[in-house]
Amino acid sequence: MRQVVLDTETTGLSWERGHRLVEIGCIELVERRPTGRRFQRYFNPGRELDIGAQEVTGLTLEFLADKPLFGHVVLEFLDFIRGAELIIHNAEFDVGFIDNELGLVGPDHGRVRDHASVLDTLGLARERFPGQRNSLDALCRRLGVDNAHRKLHGALLDAELLTEVYLAMTAGQGDLLLAPTATAPRLPAFDVGGEAVVARRPLLLAASVEELQAHAERMARIAKKSGGKLVWQEPADAGTGFAGLR
């Protein structure tokens, strides 16, 4: 499976109010592994950036003045994402801006979903961590992804962080040896009553959100009865779901 992790930076929060793209950053994955192929471009938005956008990105119209218009690289961008599954955090925001830019260039280029499917990692995070903060920074902290170098927002940098967050959130899905190109290792055979019996690979089962929530509530009740100590729990910084019980 080919996937493209994508992020954007913009002049403001609403394309409906005339805000524009200033950067796109993409990282290609094939069978959940980075290939080294990337797409990153700055754009001249033709308008000033909001103060808030300047503060979080460090970008200015002066820096962007000599960068290409989106329309000048649209074909290159569409070639990069075509046929892929796009991995985007809060996809509605990024896709809305890109669709707006495609519309401004002309109707011939269609919309993002005409070229690629879209997976929103914000939705995945809300399913896995209901009731918690699920911003990219919050997920980095929760999943142990180092983002200490992220002093400013940048599309390619954020795509790199999102790649690690996505792979951590979906860990195990790529290890079931279901990919058509994967070669499964030969399992050992044992002699049982004169018959050669091949060991079966253990079945991996993942708990549902409801089961995890029920487990957490039960642990909380046990912790309360035992004075707040559960000797089998790992330290809070180990990244387990039980940290919030202490």
What CATH number does the domain containing 21 carry? 3.30.420.10
Q: Can you tell me the mean pLDDT for 153-164?
A: 95
Token reading at 230 = 């559960």
The verdict on residue 188 lying in a domain is: no
Q: Can you tell me the mean pLDDT for 98-106?
A: 97
Measured distance CA(19)–CA(97) in Å, rounded: 8
User: Which residues, listed in sequence order, are joined to residue 29 by a DSSP beta bridge?
Assistant: 3, 34
Q: Can you tell me the mean pLDDT for 215-237?
A: 57
Contact 24, 41 (CB under 8 A): yes
Q: What is the pLDDT of residue 118?
A: 98
Same domain, 131 and 234: no
Same domain, 42 and 133: yes
Same domain, 165 and 222: no
Q: Is residue 24 classed as helix, strand or coil in its secondary structure? A: strand
Q: Which of 117, 144, 169 is the last residue of a domain?
A: 169
Same domain, 17 and 96: yes
How many residues does this entry show for the chain?
246
Total domain count, the chain: 2
Band the pLDDT of 6: cuts 50, 70, 90: very high
Contact 39, 74 (CB under 8 A): no
pLDDT at 106 over 60: yes
More confident residue, 42 or 197: 42
Count CB atoms within 10 A of the CB of residue 205.
Answer: 6
Same domain, 92 and 141: yes
Range of the domain at 215: 209-245
Q: What is the pLDDT of residue 199?
A: 44
The verdict on residue 197 lying in a domain is: no
Measured distance CA(3)–CA(33) in Å, rounded: 9
Q: What is the pLDDT of residue 194?
A: 46
Same domain, 158 and 237: no
pLDDT at 147 over 70: yes
Token reading at 10 = 């913009």
CA distances from 159 to 89, 139, 153, 175, 217 (A): 9, 13, 10, 23, 35
Q: What is the pLDDT of residue 219?
A: 66
For residue 15, give the nearest of 96, 80, 82 by alpha carbon.
96
Q: What is the pLDDT of residue 245?
A: 30
Same domain, 53 and 117: yes
Most confident of 67-81, 143-157, 159-173: 67-81
pLDDT at 197 over 60: no
**Cβ contacts of residue 122 below 8 Å, gap of 6+?**
89, 90, 91, 134
Same domain, 151 and 52: yes
Same domain, 146 and 213: no
Same domain, 86 and 23: yes
Q: Can you tell me the mean pLDDT for 107-130?
A: 97
Q: Which of 169, 191, 218 is the last residue of a domain?
A: 169
More confident residue, 49 or 242: 49
Q: What is the pLDDT of residue 173?
A: 56
The verdict on residue 120 lying in a domain is: yes
Most confident of 69-78, 198-207, 221-230: 69-78
Same domain, 115 and 235: no
Complete DSSP assignment for 122-144: HHHHHHHSTTS--SHHHHHHHHT
Same domain, 164 and 219: no
Q: Which of 108, 142, 169 is the last residue of a domain?
A: 169
The verdict on residue 178 lying in a domain is: no
The verdict on residue 139 lying in a domain is: yes
Q: Give the residue numbers annotated as catalytic, written as ranges.
A: 153
Q: What is the pLDDT of residue 148?
A: 83
pLDDT at 75 over 50: yes
The verdict on residue 92 lying in a domain is: yes
Q: Can you tell me the mean pLDDT for 113-142?
A: 96
The verdict on residue 179 lying in a domain is: no
Band the pLDDT of 151: cuts 50, 70, 90: confident
Measured distance CA(88)–CA(90) in Å, rounded: 6
Average pLDDT over the chain reads 82
pLDDT at 52 over 80: yes
Measured distance CA(180)–CA(1) in Å, rounded: 10
The verdict on residue 156 lying in a domain is: yes
DSSP state of 114: G
